[in-house]
Amino acid sequence: MKKTRYLGLLLVLFVLISCKKNDDDVVQVPDATDEPDAQVENRAPGAFTLLEVKDEDTAVSLLPTFRWNTSTDPDGDKVRYDFLLGQGQGKIESIAHDLNTATYTLNDRLSLSSEYFWKVTAKDGKGKEESSNVFSFVTRMLNNPLSATISEANFAPRMLHTVTFFNNRLWLHCGQNETGILADVWYSDDGISWTGVDDAGVDRLRGHTSVAFRDTLWTLGGRTRIGKNTRSRYMFPTYGHGLFDPGVAPYDAPWERREMHTSAVFLDKVWVLGGVNAADVPLNDVWSTADVKGWDESGEHNPAPWSARFGHTSVVFDDRLWVIGGFDGTNYLNDVWYTTDGATWTEATPNAPFLPRVSHAAVVYDNKIWLYGGDDPSRVFGDIWYSENGQDWTRFALGGNYERRVRPTLNAFNDQMVLIGGWDWDDPEKYYNDIWVFD
């Protein structure tokens, strides 16, 4: 009996151990919630198309608005855009980033009559992006007014005057008309409306030059009366209000008295180039100064290699100082010269495509040199030419009722080109005080 009880206990113990072992062998099925998240690949924003400016469009505004279809992201990510623009497919660069609308308007004007390329890139903020096709377009040419913006300004008609940008204004200084040499000063905030300066304290002057240099407007040379040239330099500080100071007296420079020369600010110096002296002898000397007090003849080979001349023009363009055309006492000229240092000169072209001339005007505007008017022995010119390199020139087709003229002024101001005054010697009393605005 006792033996039988022990055998029964052993049997129960064996069964319990066997059950425990079977429990340990059960395969555990993991809960689905214990698995790592499934990885879904991020997808790029959807394709989209450009709308405006249209591909191969022409005569496009200089401040265009660009538009495109919106891109839809397949993952629901927020899409932003980069706007890219350039002159040449290989020169397209981003100029606006992370735009949240499918439109962009330029803040800076484009160049006239130039080809541009543009595209847009859509981004999802997670490293994926989609680019549009590339569109091209050509901007409009210079606007050609059909009539003068102001037919008669409130200052007297004149030629051989100067107009200079200084202290955020245009300043008109002296000149000559049928009454003689003038001694007045005017200024304008917009190139259209002009205000005279009372008691400007300047001599009668024509054929002078004016430059803005180191917060001061300087007037150099010119003729004070028929038969008398000057080398005086008038200094007009701003005194905070932008008007002339009548108390500043002129003083003489070491260079020969002259008129119909040119002046420019170049390499942080004021330069005087050529002109004609009181004996009507043309000059080709070059002078410069860093303070408008101490003057140096520039270069080891002064006078310059270009022929002595007056009635030429000079501009600073492409980090170079240029001399264009003029009259050497015998010949009317259409050569073009430049210097990078004021000492060594290079002839860009001995014969530009415009006819030889004197008493024309020139200005740098829209990254180009623009030339207007002048005369030769047989005619007064009323044509406009422009160049992107100083060597190759293109005639601009004028369509308005332009009066041809000599000795006007041409200035770049407020994204516009402003033509003021001049004279037509076919009618000796035909002096102008009209204002033409190009943009």
The reported pLDDT for the residue numbered 231 is: 56
Is the confidence at residue 237, as pLDDT, over 60? no
- What residue numbers bound the domain in which 98 lies? 50-139
The reported pLDDT for the residue numbered 11 is: 42
Is the confidence at residue 222, as pLDDT, over 80? yes
Question: Is residue 127 domain-shared with residue 166, that is, in the same domain?
Answer: no
Question: Is residue 97 domain-shared with residue 186, that is, in the same domain?
Answer: no
The reported pLDDT for the residue numbered 346 is: 98
Question: Is residue 88 domain-shared with residue 226, that is, in the same domain?
Answer: no
Question: Is residue 398 domain-shared with residue 261, that is, in the same domain?
Answer: yes
Q: List the single range of 1-10, 31-40, 149-158, 322-331 with lowest mean pLDDT.
A: 1-10
CATH of the domain at 72: 2.60.40.10
Is the confidence at residue 22, as pLDDT, over 70? no
Percent of the chain with pLDDT over 70: 84
Mean pLDDT of the chain, nearest integer: 87
Question: Is residue 178 domain-shared with residue 96, that is, in the same domain?
Answer: no
pLDDT category, 17, cuts 50, 70, 90?
very low
Question: Is residue 175 domain-shared with residue 119, that is, in the same domain?
Answer: no
Do the domain assignments include residue 99?
yes
Give CA separation, 200 vs 104, 157, 197, 249, in Å: 48, 19, 6, 11
The reported pLDDT for the residue numbered 137 is: 98
CATH of the domain at 363: 2.120.10.80
Do the domain assignments include residue 108?
yes
Do the domain assignments include residue 185?
yes
Averaged pLDDT for residues 86-91: 90
Question: Is residue 201 domain-shared with residue 288, that is, in the same domain?
Answer: yes
When mean pLDDT is compared over 46-60, 142-156, 238-252, the highest value belongs to: 46-60
Last residue in a domain, options 139, 171, 191:
139
Do the domain assignments include residue 372?
yes
pLDDT tens track for 183-208: 999 999 999 999 998 877 778 899 99
**Which has more pLDDT, 283 or 4?**
283
Averaged pLDDT for residues 219-240: 61
pLDDT tens track for 295-341: 888 765 589 999 999 999 999 999 999 999 999 999 999 999 999 99
pTM for this prediction: 0.84
pLDDT category, 375, cuts 50, 70, 90?
very high
Last residue in a domain, options 107, 139, 171:
139
The reported pLDDT for the residue numbered 8 is: 47
Is the confidence at residue 372, as pLDDT, over 90? yes
The reported pLDDT for the residue numbered 242 is: 39
Do the domain assignments include residue 28?
no
Do the domain assignments include residue 278?
yes
Is the confidence at residue 6, as pLDDT, over 80? no
Do the domain assignments include residue 323?
yes
Q: Look at the chain and report how many structural domains it folds into.
A: 2
pLDDT category, 35, cuts 50, 70, 90?
low
Averaged pLDDT for residues 380-389: 96
Is the confidence at residue 26, as pLDDT, over 90? no
Averaged pLDDT for residues 220-232: 71
Question: Is residue 250 domain-shared with residue 387, that is, in the same domain?
Answer: yes
Do the domain assignments include residue 174?
yes
**Which has more pLDDT, 88 or 236?**
88
Question: Is residue 118 domain-shared with residue 198, that is, in the same domain?
Answer: no
pLDDT category, 66, cuts 50, 70, 90?
very high
Question: Is residue 117 domain-shared with residue 227, that is, in the same domain?
Answer: no
Question: Is residue 295 domain-shared with residue 422, that is, in the same domain?
Answer: yes
Is the confidence at residue 228, as pLDDT, over 70? no
The reported pLDDT for the residue numbered 340 is: 97
The reported pLDDT for the residue numbered 230 is: 58
pLDDT tens track for 99-124: 999 999 999 999 999 999 999 999 99
Question: Is residue 99 domain-shared with residue 170, that is, in the same domain?
Answer: no
Is the confidence at residue 407, as pLDDT, over 80? yes
Averaged pLDDT for residues 62-86: 97
The reported pLDDT for the residue numbered 36 is: 53
The reported pLDDT for the residue numbered 402 is: 75
Q: Using H for helix, E for strand and C for coil, what is the string for the chain?
A: CHHHHHHHHHHHHHHHHHHHHHHHCCCCCCCHHHCCCCCCCCCCCCCCCEEECCCCEEEECCCCEEEECCCCCCCCCCCEEEEEEECCHHHCEEEEEEECCCEEECCCCCCCCCEEEEEEEEECCCCCEEECCCEEEEECCCCCCCCCCECCCCCCCCECCEEEEECCEEEEEEEEECCEEEEEEEEECCCCCCEECCCCCCCCCECCEEEEECCEEEEECCEEECCEEECEEEEEECCCCCCCCCCCCCEECCCCCEECCEEEEECCEEEEEEEECCCCCEEEEEEEECCCCCEEECCCCCCCCCCCEECCEEEEECCEEEEEEEECCCCEEEEEEEECCCCCEEEEECCCCCCCEECCEEEEECCEEEEECCEECCEECCCEEEECCCCCCEEECCCCCCCCCECCEEEEECCEEEEEEEECCCCCCCEEEEEEEEC
